[in-house]
Amino acid sequence: MKSFRDIHQVAVVGTGMMGPGIALAMARGGLTVDLYGRSADSVRRGEANLKQNCERLVGYELATQAEVDAARSRIQLTDNLAAAAGKADLIIESISEDLEAKRRLFSALCPLCADDTILATNTSGISITKIAVAVTRPERFVGAHFWNPPYLMPLVEVIKGEKTSDETMDTAREVIRLAGKRPISVLKDVPGFLGNRLQHTLYREALALVEHGVASPADVDTMIKYSFSMRMPPLGIFEYMDMVGIDLVQSIHDYLFADLDNRTTPSPVTRERVSKGTLGMKTGQGFFTWTPEQVEERKRKRDDEVVRQLRLGIEENRE
């Protein structure tokens, strides 16, 4: 099984929302990367996304132009899957969130790559074990869930499937660390892994509060933005429980847990909007009305806040 010292050539499959950012992160770690798109249009889209990501890194002063140029020189775009897979030490899949599509891709990849090539999926919640059904030697198969936007967000969830070897987990973590990211280990293959289980638990309660008329979507968002979310960058959940006292936490749980939403199916609040086609920013209407200018402004604010926190982290490390 390959160690992280054996990983020099990476193939990233997919040129949509995530692939180009993952490729850029790998290249910034000094690795050579083939970014695969299945058509000429996909390759052009990947090129445009890479260019934009590079410009933003420089604009945010998170990298110099020379550093970005050096990373970009290590990325080659291609529509030749066999060539990209054949020389790869590590392949990272980042296509649509569809179990069968991912299985078809890995089934096609296995004959094209070496037997010891590490195979990783960037799924945000599909079972690693279920995807691995299509993989020969599934001990080399691992989840590597990058968070969006991957050229900025530090965290990567490294997920162990039922047959993933400890050596594969170690290699994946070290390569991700080499790329300047912060890997965490998800030791059991549960739906949604860590991040999305926590995030969607919050979604469920927020939707229930709106459904039952406790508060409006705007006030729920305001509460989150200007209360506990402001404490979370320096303090995680368990650190905060230690800070306030586990006895206090438990006393609240004594009366609160029984009243929290425990729905096991999607909320009628989302079902109604999906049925009407009011899907959010991409349709201009969701819980709120969105113009193209507002969409871009919100995305910019999101990235600005991520960058602010990244800079704080960089300064702390220097100290």
Active-site residues, by number, are 124, 145, 157, 196
Q: How many CB atoms lie within 10 A of CB 10?
A: 29
Nearest to 168 by CA among 189, 148, 143: 143
Q: Which residues pair with 182 in a beta bridge?
A: 155
- Residue 217 near residue 288 (C-beta atoms within 8 A): yes
Cβ within 8 Å of residue 131, ≥6 positions away: 99, 102, 103, 106, 121, 123, 141, 161
Token representation of residue 130: 């279920």
- 48 alpha carbon, distance to own chain's centre: 20
- Collapsing DSSP to helix, strand or coil, 130 comes out as helix
| Length of the chain, in residues | 319
Nearest to 179 by CA among 214, 209, 144: 144
Q: How far apart are CA 135 and CA 127, in angstroms?
A: 14
Q: How far apart are CA 13 and CA 91, in angstroms?
A: 7
Backbone CA torsion sign across 180, 185, 190, 194: negative
